Amino acid sequence: MAKTLFDSSDIRNIALVGHSGSGKTSLGEAILLKTGVTTRLGNTTAGTSTFDFEPEEVKRGGSNATAFAWCEYAGKKVNIIDTPGDANFVYDSFTSLRGADTAVIVISAPDGVEVQTERLNTEAKNLGLARIIVINKMDKERANAAQCLNEIKEDLEVTPVPLQIPMGSAETFKGVISLLKEKAYIYDGATGKYKETDIPAEYADDVASAWEVLTEAIAETDDDLMEKYLETLELSKEECIAALPAALEAAKIVPVVYTSATNLIGIDLILDLVAKCAPNPLQRAEVAIVRGESEEMLKGSPDASFSAVVIRSFIDDFSGKQTVIRILNGKAPADGNVVNVRTGDPERLGTLYALRGSNRDAVDQGVFGDILCLAKLKDTRTNDTLALNTDYAYKRVVYPAPMMSFNLRCKAKGEEDKLKNAVDKLMDEDPTLSTGYDELGRAMTLFGMGQQHLDMAIEKMKRKFKLEVDTSLPLVAYRETLKKRVQNIEGKHKKQSGGAGQFGVCYINAEPLERGEGFKFFDEIVGGAIPRQFIPAVEKGIVNCMEHGLLAGYPVTDLAVHLIDGKYHPVDSKEVAFQAAGRKAILESFRQGGVKLLEPVYKMDITIPSDSVGDIMGDITSRRGRVLGMDPEHKKTVIHAICPLAEVQRYAPDLRSMTGGQGIFTMEFYGYEEVPGNLEAKIVKESPFGGAKDEDED
């Protein structure tokens, strides 16, 4: 059995991050193969991947959630965090990054720096993580290392420091030259075997130029080295090697290496760099905590009281709920008893495991800095803090507002409770999912980051919880309002059925209000025309009738009603009679004054590449939107606009399609505006409610 217990100084926690399709999972699989964890190179679409083991990932051919595996190399335990790079799932990467000490930023050589690469690089920088850049897919057509370096400098706003020179590109890519080892490594096909040779003469000039960049970058990280460099204009190989770990730990240098993960080229050199130079947990930067109402930074220590942050939760088909933690202070207590800081409730850690995809290896002790899995915790979720004798919690990741939603209805009757339970468990796994209730549609609503995100959740619900649902877009919350002021409208209710009768008469004036003013009721009765005890009944009848307007059955808003007169009978007048009178009066007001339809509009902030501005502005106009303004942000532009909700319910996938996956947006309710006349008839016809009717009508 492989060794599972390591000292904190011998642990390396690396997160593979980058845009979807850059080859992160392939790189992780190559590392597992080279270290003997697996016997063949895992492949997602073939269903043999260690990291992409969920059926939905196999079907889609890519990661939709973070996965973990560990391997041993040169006496070090390397915890690999393989994160998703798709915009629908990228916020899972933001959470998982808190488990890492080094972000390995994977860039596709043919595609260069893409939008999620930029976002994840920024997040890694904000967390104070060391960063290593891997330019992958050097064997693919259009691979361009020089262009990638330029984009890294411009788009990631870092100075890349290559530790290697690629030997060829595309079909001629055969290996790399290591500047620090001063050797060339030429690989044999896809076996991962290589031979170490002297540097070919034709690369001498490239090596000299790259060495100058490297030594200058190393010199800038240390005052003594800088002083020597300024005097001699050179540093020795030994001095550069000795200075690199500290420079990497302090994020003063961002080294670059080259690979073809699927051909196993350069994998050994990456592992060597991680083992010798990447920081261990003892060197981890301070992390943000919340103590009471204040936020502060905390430097973890193996001698402190235990605390850990939950970086992932998921449901295993066989073992139930699994919770992945990063120990950021102390070590796991021997008796396993800790407290969930969010709930204040105790949790028992039980057996500790080191994950390898869906497989687990039992660990004797949870040491400082390790990433471990716990089974069947009661009420612990992603972002939670587990601790022993602490008065703080680790700062939670704040997720953006959802960009799309579906209404859910069980296909089989009587499974509503099962649906709620399934959705709760899905949200435990994925905090970017949230739920609500569509009052108009009378259905549970599931909110997510896009259609693919929601589709994946529905697939998981069917597979994991044996629950099938029908989905639809939530009903647009249209409103109705009065077109013009009407006066002295009578509402009369008279009913005689052999016993005590019902009698009530009211007269009202009604007028439309400005948008957003809601409903106002004014009691202007004088001389006891309606007894005081019946006036609330008139208002209640009006309010109840306003729940379904006359035009299309949508709620009525922005309306003022003045109760000006009425009649009553000393015996037959009752509350129910005046409720009916109020209802008839407001219905007649709608008939005489006319009703118009209002639609919800939302303010949107749309972040896109600057070269897409024209297309997006044209698209906004086609959706009946209005552009309010624009703000440039580096190579991007933020467009501020107002759009009707009915036109942007499926905007998330549309925006990604128009911007090559680079566009993101947020939206918040802005108000109600009148529906254009050419659309009103269609909305009325398609309304599921129909107009309001008098209760006396059949």
Q: Cα 683 to chain center, whole Å?
A: 33
Arithmetic mean of pLDDT, 119-132:
95
Banded pLDDT at 498 (limits 50, 70, 90): low
3-state secondary structure of 142: coil
Q: Are residues 178 and 150 in the same domain?
A: yes
Q: What does the alpha-carbon distance between residue 80 and residue 99 come to, in Å, rounded to a whole number?
A: 10
**Is residue 260 one of the residues assigned to a domain?**
yes
* Residue 675: pLDDT over 70: yes
Q: Residue 533 gets which letter from DSSP?
A: G
Q: Residue 252 gets which letter from DSSP?
A: S
Q: What does the alpha-carbon distance between residue 329 and residue 597 come to, in Å, rounded to a whole number?
A: 59
Percent of the chain whose predicted confidence (pLDDT) is above 70: 98
- Among residues 419, 443, 472, the one where a domain terminates is 472
Q: Are residues 467 and 484 in the same domain?
A: no
CA atoms within 13 A on the CB side of 276: 11
Banded pLDDT at 697 (limits 50, 70, 90): very low
**Is residue 693 one of the residues assigned to a domain?**
no
How many Cβ atoms from other residues are within 10 Å of residue 229's Cβ?
18
Identify which of 337, 419, 401 has the alpha carbon closest to the alpha carbon of residue 374: 337
pLDDT tens profile 624-665: 999 999 999 877 899 999 999 999 999 999 998 899 877 888
- Among residues 241, 262, 282, the one where a domain terminates is 282
**Is residue 696 one of the residues assigned to a domain?**
no
* Residue 112: pLDDT over 90: yes
CA atoms within 13 A on the CB side of 652: 20
**Is residue 2 one of the residues assigned to a domain?**
no
**Is residue 515 one of the residues assigned to a domain?**
yes
Q: Are residues 261 and 313 in the same domain?
A: no
Q: In the chain, what is the straight-line distance between the N-terminal and C-terminal CA atoms, in Å?
A: 79
Q: Are residues 492 and 635 in the same domain?
A: no
Q: What does the alpha-carbon distance between residue 459 and residue 641 come to, in Å, rounded to a whole number?
A: 34
Identify which of 493, 696, 509, 497 has the alpha carbon closest to the alpha carbon of residue 578: 493
Q: Are residues 548 and 434 in the same domain?
A: no
**632-663: b (≥16 Cβ within 10 Å) or e:** eeeebbbbebbbbbbbbeebbeebbebbebbb
The per-residue pLDDT for 695 is: 55
Q: Are residues 97 and 195 in the same domain?
A: yes
**Is residue 97 one of the residues assigned to a domain?**
yes
What residues contact 567, with CB distance under 8 A and at least 6 apart?
503, 504, 505, 529, 530
- Among residues 394, 428, 459, the one where a domain terminates is 394
Banded pLDDT at 682 (limits 50, 70, 90): very high
**Containing structural domain, residue 655:** 597-684
Banded pLDDT at 562 (limits 50, 70, 90): very high
- Are residues 339 and 384 in contact, defined by beta-carbon separation less than 8 angstroms? no
Q: Are residues 45 and 192 in the same domain?
A: yes
The per-residue pLDDT for 693 is: 60
Arithmetic mean of pLDDT, 51-72:
91
The per-residue pLDDT for 694 is: 58
Q: Are residues 495 and 423 in the same domain?
A: no
pLDDT tens profile 320-377: 889 999 999 999 998 999 999 999 999 999 999 999 999 999 999 999 999 999 998 9
DSSP-assigned letters across all residues of 398-410? PPPPPSEEEEEEE
**Is residue 698 one of the residues assigned to a domain?**
no
Q: Are residues 314 and 418 in the same domain?
A: no
Q: Which amino acid is at 583?
A: R
Arithmetic mean of pLDDT, 397-419:
90
Give me the CATH number covering residue 387: 2.40.30.10
**Backbone phi and psi for residue 466, each to the nearest 5 degrees, phi listed first:** 55, 40
**Backbone phi and psi for residue 605, each to the nearest 5 degrees, phi listed first:** -115, 110
Q: Are residues 372 and 420 in the same domain?
A: no
Arithmetic mean of pLDDT, 615-622:
96
Q: Are residues 504 and 603 in the same domain?
A: no
Arithmetic mean of pLDDT, 121-126:
94
- Number of structural domains (the chain) is 5
Give me the CATH number covering residue 439: 3.30.70.870
pLDDT tens profile 577-618: 999 999 999 999 999 999 999 999 999 999 898 989 999 999
The per-residue pLDDT for 3 is: 67
3-state secondary structure of 229: helix
Q: What does the alpha-carbon distance between residue 289 and residue 292 come to, in Å, rounded to a whole number?
A: 10
Mean pLDDT of the chain: 92
Give me the CATH number covering residue 126: 3.40.50.300
Give me the CATH number covering residue 673: 3.30.70.240
The per-residue pLDDT for 47 is: 87
- Are residues 27 and 35 in contact, defined by beta-carbon separation less than 8 angstroms? no
pLDDT tens profile 24-54: 999 999 999 999 999 999 998 888 999 998 8
Max mean pLDDT among 56-70, 166-180, 187-201 falls in 166-180
Bridge-based pairing of strands 626-633 and 393-394 is unpaired
Q: Which amino acid is at 70?
A: W
The per-residue pLDDT for 403 is: 85
**Is residue 694 one of the residues assigned to a domain?**
no
Q: Are residues 274 and 317 in the same domain?
A: no
Diameter over CA atoms, the chain: 115
pLDDT tens profile 231-282: 888 888 899 999 999 999 999 999 999 999 999 999 999 999 999 999 999 9
The per-residue pLDDT for 651 is: 93
Banded pLDDT at 698 (limits 50, 70, 90): very low
The per-residue pLDDT for 38 is: 95
